[in-house]
A = this chain, B = another copy of it.
Amino acid sequence: MVEAVREPRQDRSRATRQRLLAAAVDCLAEVGWSGSTVSVVAEHAGVSRGAAQHHFPTRENLFTAAIEYVTEERLTHLRANLPNLPPGRDRTEFVVHTLGEMFTGKLFRAALQLWVAAASDEPLKAQVVPLEARVGRETHRLTLEALGVDESRPGIREAVQATLDMARGLGLANVLTDDTKRRRRVLTQWTAMLTTAITE
């Protein structure tokens, strides 16, 4: 009976926590790091300030957890979007365009706010760097797999890294203006160059 009572309460608590984390990501993407206080996030989540502080006593607690949440979301999003097409130009095109779009979404904008805030905030940096390293490794591995390429061939590893660097740069180019049309043309050209590099 104790379990039966506890379960729904734990579920509710977990749901509240998830709502706060999702709201933290929204706030980061929309109003930036300096505007994203615990109160602002609680209001956005429709959670009382007291409940928010019960889950996350400090701003650092909240955003550390949000970093992990962003990380998991980005990887889940990536896994769901990287396809199982037969190798070739169509698959390369799909992977390149998927990555290009991924780095322009809300998760990228939220992560960008954290990176930039962490650049001048050592405690935050200490938490962001290892998570970013993990996301970087996982994204690289998933991209290799999706492209169906063999990393032991010279230049392949760097060509895949260049793809991710370019996607990140395209994400940054989209922060202040809608860069969609230009981005699509660049990604199409990049598909051609990457296809040559991985099949030659």
Q: Can you report 7 A-B residue pairs in the complex whose CB atoms are below 8 A from each other?
A: A32-B117, A116-B175, A165-B173, A166-B166, A168-B169, A168-B172, A172-B172
In the complex, the answer to whether A119 meets B176 with C-beta atoms within 8 Å is: yes
Q: Which of A33, A155, A169 has the most CB of B within 10 A?
A: A169
Q: Cβ of B193 and Cβ of A159 under 8 Å apart?
A: yes
Residues of B within 8 A of A70 (CB): none
Q: How far is the CB of A177 from chain B (nearest CB, A)?
A: 6
Find residues 11-48 in chain A having any chain B CB closer than 8 Å to their own CB.
Answer: 30-35
Give per-residue flags for A166-190: 1 if the beta carbon is below 8 A from chain B beta carbons, else 0. 1111111101110000100110111
**Interchain CA distance A162-B162 in the complex, whole Å:** 10
Within 8 A of B (CB), among A92-151: 109, 112-113, 115-121, 125, 128-129, 132
A129 to B31: give the CA distance in the assembly, Å: 18
Chain B residues within an 8 Å CB radius of A7 = none
Which residues of chain B come closer than 8 Å to A193, judged between CB atoms?
159, 162, 193-194, 196-197
Asked if A31 contacts B120 (CB within 8 A), the reply is: yes
